[in-house]
Amino acid sequence: MSAARSTLAVRVGLLLHGNKIWISEFLSIFLLSSILMTFFTLTLLIVLDETTIRSYDRRILALSNSGETALATLTDLSSKAKIIDAMRVVLGDRLSSQTYYQLADLVHRNSTTFGYDPLLLLAVIDVESQFSAQARGQYKSGAASGAFGLMQLKLETAQKIARSLGMTVRSSSDLFRPDVNIPLGVAYLTQLIAQFRSFKLGLLAYNQGPGVILEQLAAERPLSKDYYDRVLRRFYRFRAITDSLGIVKDSSK
């Protein structure tokens, strides 16, 4: 009787769903459950850590992008300020503050788009129209040349360039608008430079017409460089102005 009780004491069972599970089996189930619980906990922690890391990465990237955007904005503002300073020194009070800001924005935007020094575009505009948006071109004889606006574009040429840019020019009055004239003028100059594979020849073609330049080159006649020289003189004048203003600003710090 005691032996039976001893055996029974050793093999005390747990009744579950009608089946008897002994202590050793219960311990195995407990250990297995603990292992599984630990595994799931570790997996959950890893997932949470990965999510946190990715969240931090996104925040860092967003901060980096915002920093780059701020730097680009600061660079743009600095460039526009330089353009305005250069124009103000040359033109004084001839233009309103609003016009200065509009021209600076257009010159900066198009110089960036087409890869020019903005001071070069200022030089071309200065030679072509002396910054008069309502300028009408004339030949040396005094006859109207048919060129209009800041960069002195002819209507037919402007309409052709406008089509390639997806813009619309209905009449010569459109060319008196700086937001139309400057993009078309810069695009036309870029086209001529690419056509002649030369900045100098492209600039001369802008002034004299590509047909004239081609004819002179074919006949091996010397080219008139007066326009090219005038643009370069204005360019170096604008650059000297911005350099001197930069020196003044630096010395005041």
Residue ranges per structural domain of the chain: 79-251
pLDDT tens for 107-131 read: 999 999 999 999 999 999 999 999 9
CATH topology of domain 79-251: Lysozyme (1.10.530)
The Cβ of residue 17 has, within 10 Å, a number of other Cβ atoms equal to 5
Q: Mean pLDDT over residues 45-56, rounded?
A: 63
pLDDT tens for 69-121 read: 555 566 677 888 889 999 999 999 999 999 999 999 999 999 999 999 999 99
Alpha carbon distance 204, 202 (integer Å): 5
pLDDT tens for 194-208 read: 999 999 999 999 999
Q: Write down the pLDDT at residue 190.
A: 96
**pLDDT confidence band for 57 (50 / 70 / 90):** low
Q: Which is more confidently placed, 187 or 66?
A: 187
Q: Which is more confidently placed, 35 or 199?
A: 199
> What amino acid is encoded at 87 in this protein?
M
Residue indicated by tokens 């590509």: 210
Residue indicated by tokens 């400057």: 182
Of the candidates 130, 134, 124, the residue with the CA atom closest to the CA atom of residue 228: 124
pLDDT tens for 7-33 read: 444 444 444 444 444 556 666 677 777
Total-model pTM: 0.69
